[in-house]
Amino acid sequence: MRIGAARQTYAADEALFETTVQRAWFAGLLAALVAFPFMADAYWLYLACLVAINVASATGLNILTGYTGLVSLGQAAFMGIGAYTVAVLEIRFGTPFLLNLVAAGLLAAAGGILVGIPSLRVKGLYLAIATIAASFILHFVFANWTSVTNGVTGLSMPPARLFGVALDTSFRMYWLIVPVTVLMVMGAANLFRTRIGRAFIAIRDRDISAEVLGIPLLRYKLMSFALSSFYAGVAGGLWAYFFRVVTPESFPLVMSIFYLAAIIVGGMGTILGPILGAAFMTMVPEVLKLGVGWLSPWVPDAVALLSPVRTIVFGALIVGFLVFEPQGLAEIWRRVRRFFHLWPFKT
């Protein structure tokens, strides 16, 4: 517990931010997010948007896997539902993008509830396999429901429009993607201050005990699936608006593994974990590329020679984190913060 942060009310105990300093830092972060697009070039803006989409989806998966303890490898498929929903609504009906995103989330949530039904009977690896099966079924639907999804060719869609302005660049998309992601992360953070969120945690820690405490397991597990898939659906919708081409191959199984890896590397069961994990998984390959490019003046054709090494380093970094920091990047962050709480009195 922090020095000078004595809590005297239950409300203070549940507050998202314990101190004024924390609130000030958060305001600083928001200000930095607002300032970022004016300082970054198209490449960094593109990466920022990609990280934000991945953060939104990873946060959803964290609700299900990190907080409720239900392993899912169907996150990419739920993103696919969201992306196709947005693409179809945008192309056929031209409905406003915010409505499309909500519809994407709701439809994905419905899909999540269906897939989550076996979760009362199966857990752990068995549930993971059940969700893989669901993702194969959804892939089949995307590839073969030609009248809606346009089959393997997929759908190319127009950009989202806001007051007549087409959101067709990373700079413009940033103002859609990042606020939506911030809202979603704040939503997730608040969720665990409510009965629902606490019920999820109780289920994760011991589902039988949770049931004894009066938590209806099926209802809450399905709710967790629905929420997680809602996040995936909205993230998929944002993805569709960002890339503007949706094909069955856009959301492969390996993408679900990516999100699972992101929350494990970041730290499961924390709000910060998926943010750091998604940023790490998205950015490290790019930073390693920069490193390889940096060696170019000294190593001729460095990119060609060192690209395979780069993928090995990325893999080794993930393994390294799992071995040396099993609590994830969020734990490193906490440790750094603890250091500064007492600095300069203790270093």
Partner 1 sequence: MLVTRRTMLGLAMAAGAAMVAAPPAVAADDIVIGGSIPMTGVFAFAGVGIHAGIGDYVKIVNDAGGIKGRKIKYVYEDTGYKVDASVAAFQKLTSQEKPNFYYGDSTGFSKTINPELERNGNILMAGASFASELNDPQKYPYQFMAGPDYTAMFGVLLRYIQKTQPGAKVAFVHSDTEFGRDPIKPSTALAASLGLKVVETIVTPPGSVDVSTEVLKLRRADPDFTIFHGYVLAPIPEFITQARQMNMKSRFMGTFWSMDHSMVMKLGDVGEGFMGVMPYRYYYDTDPKAPMLAKIRQMRPEYQSTAYMQGFVTAMLFVEAAKRCVESGKELNGKNLKGCLNGIKDFDTGGLFGVPITVSGNSIPVGRVYRADMKAKTMVPVSDWIKAE
Binding site for partner 1 (CB under 8 A): 41-43, 45-47, 50, 143, 151-154, 156, 159, 168-170, 243-245, 247-250, 285-287, 289-294, 301, 303-304, 307-308, 310-311
Cα 265 to its chain centre, rounded Å, is 13
Q: Which one, 187 or 285, has the nearer CB to partner 1?
A: 285
Q: Which one, 19 or 307, has the nearer CB to partner 1?
A: 307
Name the nearest CA neighbour of 79 among 99, 59, 96: 59
At residue 336, the 3 state secondary structure works out as helix
Spatial distance between the Cα atoms of 100 and 33, rounded to a whole number of angstroms: 25
Q: Report the alpha-carbon angle 59-219-11, nearest 5.
A: 60
The nearest distance, CB 308 to partner 1, in angstroms, is: 6
Q: Which one, 161 or 310, has the nearer CB to partner 1?
A: 310
- Amino acid of residue 229: S
The nearest distance, CB 306 to partner 1, in angstroms, is: 9
Q: In angstroms, what CA-CA distances link 279 with 52, 110, 202, 258, 331?
A: 8, 28, 28, 12, 15
Q: Which one, 154 or 266, has the nearer CB to partner 1?
A: 154
The nearest distance, CB 318 to partner 1, in angstroms, is: 15
The nearest distance, CB 303 to partner 1, in angstroms, is: 6
Q: Which one, 11 or 254, has the nearer CB to partner 1?
A: 254
Q: Which one, 10 or 298, has the nearer CB to partner 1?
A: 298
Residue with tokens 């198209």: 42
Q: Which one, 123 or 310, has the nearer CB to partner 1?
A: 310
Q: Report the alpha-carbon angle 86-56-266, nearest 5.
A: 150
The nearest distance, CB 290 to partner 1, in angstroms, is: 4
Q: Which one, 123 or 289, has the nearer CB to partner 1?
A: 289
**β-sheet bridge partners, residue 161:** 166
Spatial distance between the Cα atoms of 98 and 95, rounded to a whole number of angstroms: 9
Residue with tokens 């950009």: 159
The nearest distance, CB 46 to partner 1, in angstroms, is: 4
Spatial distance between the Cα atoms of 79 and 253, rounded to a whole number of angstroms: 11
The nearest distance, CB 41 to partner 1, in angstroms, is: 4
The nearest distance, CB 47 to partner 1, in angstroms, is: 6
The nearest distance, CB 123 to partner 1, in angstroms, is: 29
- Amino acid of residue 240: A
Q: Which one, 213 or 303, has the nearer CB to partner 1?
A: 303
Give the pair of three-digit tokens for residue 71.
């392993």
Residue with tokens 């856009």: 250
- Buried-state track 273-307, b at ≥16 Cβ within 10 A, e below 16: bbbbbbbbbbbbeeebeeebeeeeeeeeebeeebe
